[in-house]
Every structure is written in C-alpha cells, then in structure tokens.
C-alpha cells in the first residue's frame, strides 16, 4: 500500500495562487514547470524550503472500517437501481428490474462480482463476500441507502494517525513588465498578508503565515533592458497528517464457564 | 559563402556530407498552452506532427557557443531542415519548442528539443537548428 498525502498540497497551492491574484490582479504561476514564461508582469510561486518538523508529532490509533477480510452485503430492495460493490477501487454493478426483491437483487449481485481471487455467495437475504487468500481488501458500496455491509470476520484493520505541525518556505517572485514598477506590485502582496480576509482564506485552506524574510531586489538584465524582479520569502505553517494501516487484528469470542464469562472478545 | 547542394555551409566541411545523408524526420509542434487561473499550473495544448527532410550531425565546439554556457555540456545535434523549426517562445501566445524524432541512428531512440535556430533564406535547407536530447 502507499500512504495518502500527508499535506494537502493542491489545496494550499490553489490558496496561494488565489491570494496573489487577488492582491495584484496578475497572472500567478508555479515556478519550474516545463512551460513558456508568461507575459510580464506576472507572479511566480515556489516552495523553496520545508517541510520542516517543529516539535513532536502526535499519534492516535483508530480503526479503518473500510477494510475487511470477509463481509456480508445486504441490499434493500428498490426497482431499477444500480447496486455497486467496489473492491479495491474496481466496481461491480447489478441493476435491479421492476418488482425487485431482496432475493432477486442478491441473486444479481453475487454473479456480478467477478473479481479474481474472491468468492461471492448468494444467501438470498444477503451476499457473502470473502477474499480467498484471507488478506484484507477495501470495500465500498453504493447507493449506501440501499446497500450495506458488515464485517463477518470480526476483525478490524488498525490504523495509526500521526499528525503535527510543519513549516514551509514560500518564495514569491514578481516579474515586472518594462515600465512597470516591481516594487509597487510586491507592496500589494506584502501589505495584504495581514488582511483579515486573507488570514481567514488561509485558515480555511489549512495554512498560516508566521513571518517573512523581507523583500529582496533581484532585478536583472535580459538583453537590452532590465527586468524588474522582487522576491519575498514567506514562512508558512501547515498541518501534517499521515494515516497508516498497521495490520489486521482478528477478534475471537470464547466461552469461559470457569470464570463466568461468555462471549468475551480478545484481540489476537 | 560556400554552397553545397543548396545548403549553406559557412563553416562545415560539406565534402563529407552528401544527399544520401538526408533523412525524413518528424516534427512535433506544441501549440500555445495556458496557465490555470486557479492552480497556477500550465496545461499543454494539443500538439501536431509533420515531417521534413533534414541533415543531422553532432554539434561541434563552434555550434555549442550559440548556447547558454549552462547548456553546452548536454548532448547536442545540428539539424539542417527544409521546414521551419521553432524554439520556445515566452509571453503572448507563448509555446514550447518543437521536438524532433525519427532521427537516424544512433540518435533514433530519443526525442530532441530545439534550443536554437537560425535561418538561411533561399537555401534548400534553410533552417539550421541545435537540438538537445530530452530527459538529460
């Protein structure tokens, strides 16, 4: 398995682009793409530092209820409805007819699940689905109002959720067209950092600013003229959140008449 | 200016080249793409392909002086082509450089990006380009 992205990069990148566009009204791009330079004036953004760990991460255990070894899938009868069972991202569907019953839907769903390495058995009231090698699979169903499933293996995939703060450094560069004042453009960006609406927009996107390195002049000569360029590095804070599956833990139920317990569950 | 088979040859010894060195190569022309106003990411436009007759040989030291210093260590070819070859263009209607493929062996396994072009008006192979191997 691979981990899910721990930082919502696309969300915070879009927020940074939106902010610079609001502040300057200029085309704002991410630097170092294999692409032509836009028409000046424009703003480019680049992550030049981080993520840097600050402090300790927190760990929390949870249960991944989407992962199972064996399940019972139970439909609620509905006419002309597409029932979809999705196993590890691949969907298997059955569409009910008019006058559908739970039995007819079970009879339709079971053969529709043709995934290799799985066994789907029609029990009239529900469909048993099991992965033949006994390992874990990820299951989703739809429509959720008409199709539910329960774990029949009495086990659970245990997750660890690790979260903590990280810092990133965002480099903002203004490239000014001839006759345009790069300072004036950068002033708009710098001044808008503390605007309450911008602070709120960053909060919604999951990013905060905690300082800047000050504006630098990087004006350079390109052929016969100067290109006004100003740079501002902004120190950002983001939330890091990594979810990992630790393994499938089965539970068993035993009767212990000696101790007077019945049906006690133990993790093994 | 020395001319061989209609090919301008201000520096090169064309006596070692002949018409049998001509090959048909493929030009992939990338149209102007656009930057997303929300993500700031560039999206390429559709590309088109065409073919042209060309003569291809490795770039020498004098050729490499036409390139920025940082690019002179990359594998570079000289391409004399009958049709226009384009470098990248910035600004309005900016586009990426043409990409060549179908070059003769031993360069046929790679794609080559045009990084420098000069024209020789009136010559049969009127566009002299420097192309660098992509992915270096």
Q: What is the pLDDT of residue B13?
A: 46
Model confidence over B104-127: pLDDT tens digits? Answer: 999 999 999 999 999 999 888 999
Block means of pLDDT (10 residues each) for chain A, length 268 residues?
A: 82 97 97 91 96 89 74 94 93 94 95 94 94 84 91 75 93 95 97 96 95 95 88 95 79 58 48
* Confidence category of residue B92, pLDDT binned at 50, 70, 90: confident
Q: What is the pLDDT of residue A136?
A: 80
Cβ contacts (< 8 Å) between A23 and chain B: which residues?
none
Q: What is the pLDDT of residue A11?
A: 95
Q: What is the pLDDT of residue B2?
A: 44
How far apart CA A3 and CA B58 sit, in angstroms, is 46
CA atoms within 13 Å, Cβ hemisphere of A123: 12
Query: Strand order of the sheet with strand A147-151?
Result: A118-122, A127-131, A70-75, A147-151
Tell me which residue in A39, A40, A45 faces B40 most closely, judged by beta carbons. Answer: A45
Judged by CB atoms closer than 8 Å, whether chains meet at B40 and A28 is answered as yes
CA distance B91 to chain A (A): 4
What is the ipTM for the molecules in this complex? 0.71
Q: What is the pLDDT of residue A222?
A: 82
Cβ contacts (< 8 Å) between B35 and chain A: which residues?
27, 29, 35, 38
Q: What is the pLDDT of residue B42?
A: 92
Judged by CB atoms closer than 8 Å, whether chains meet at B89 and A36 is answered as yes
Name the E strands within chain A: 27-30, 42-53, 58-64, 67-68, 70-75, 82-87, 90-95, 118-122, 127-131, 137-142, 147-151, 156-176, 207-217, 220-222, 225-249, 251-256, 261-267
How far apart CA A56 and CA A35 sit, in angstroms, is 39
Question: Which range has the top average pLDDT, A261-265, B4-8, B129-133?
Answer: B129-133
pLDDT > 70 fraction of chain B, expressed in percent and rounded: 85
Provide the chain A residues 16-45 that lie in CB contact (below 8 A) with chain B: 16-18, 21, 27-30, 33-40, 45
CB A237: neighbour CB atoms within 10 A? 17
Q: What is the pLDDT of residue A118?
A: 93
Between B133 and A249, name the one with better pLDDT.
B133
Query: A227 with A175: CB under 8 angstroms?
Result: yes
Q: Is B89 on the interface with A (CB under 8 A)?
A: yes
Alpha carbon A94 to chain centroid, angstroms: 29
Mean pLDDT of B69-91: 93
Alpha carbon B78 to chain centroid, angstroms: 7
Query: A92 with A113: CB under 8 angstroms?
Result: yes
Tell me which residue in A18, A33, A38 faces B38 most closely, judged by beta carbons. Answer: A18
Q: Which residue of B has its CA nearest to A30?
A: B40
B52 pLDDT more than 80: yes
């Amino acid at each position: 398995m691979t981990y899910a992205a721990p930082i919502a990069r696309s969300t915070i990148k879009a927020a940074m682009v939106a902010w610079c566009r609001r502040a300057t009204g200029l085309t704002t791009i991410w630097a170092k793409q294999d692409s032509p330079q836009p028409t000046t004036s424009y703003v480019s953004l680049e992550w030049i530092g981080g993520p840097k760990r600050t402090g300790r991460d927190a760990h929390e255990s949870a249960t991944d209820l989407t992962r199972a070894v064996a399940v019972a899938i139970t439909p609620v009868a509905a006419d002309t409805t597409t029932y979809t069972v999705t196993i590890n991202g691949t969907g298997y569907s059955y569409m009910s007819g008019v006058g559908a019953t739970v039995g007819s839907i079970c009879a339709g769903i079971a053969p529709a699940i043709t995934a290799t390495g799985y066994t789907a058995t029609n029990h009239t009231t529900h469909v048993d689905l099991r992965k033949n090698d006994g390992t874990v699979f990820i299951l989703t169903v739809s429509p959720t109002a008409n199709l539910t499933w329960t774990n029949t293996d009495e086990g659970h995939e245990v997750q660890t959720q690790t979260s903590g703060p990280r810092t990133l450094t965002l480099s903002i560069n203004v490239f000014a067209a001839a006759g345009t004042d790069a300072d004036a453009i950068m002033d708009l960006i710098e001044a808008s950092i503390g605007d309450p609406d911008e602070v709120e927009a960053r909060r919604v996107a999951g990013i905060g600013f905690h300082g800047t390195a000050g504006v630098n002049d990087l004006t350079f000569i390109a052929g016969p003229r100067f290109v006004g360029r100003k740079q501002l590095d902004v120190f950002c804070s983001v939330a890091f959140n990594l979810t990992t599956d630790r393994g499938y833990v089965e539970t068993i139920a035993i009767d212990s008449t000696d101790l007077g317990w019945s049906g006690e569950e133990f993790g093994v | 200016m020395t001319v061989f088979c209609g090919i301008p040859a201000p520096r090169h010894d064309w006596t070692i080249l002949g018409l049998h060195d001509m090959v048909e190569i493929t030009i992939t022309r990338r149209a102007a793409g656009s930057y997303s106003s929300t993500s700031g990411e560039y999206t390429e436009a559709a590309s088109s392909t065409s073919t042209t007759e060309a003569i291809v040989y490795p770039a020498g030291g004098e050729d490499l002086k036409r390139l920025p210093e940082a690019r002179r260590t990359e594998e570079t070819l000289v391409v004399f082509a009958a049709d226009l070859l384009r470098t990248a263009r910035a600004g309005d209607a900016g586009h990426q450089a043409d990409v060549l493929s179908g070059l003769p062996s031993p360069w046929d396994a790679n794609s080559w990006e045009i990084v420098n072009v000069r024209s020789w008006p009136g010559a049969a192979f009127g566009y002299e380009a420097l192309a660098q191997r992509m992915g270096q």
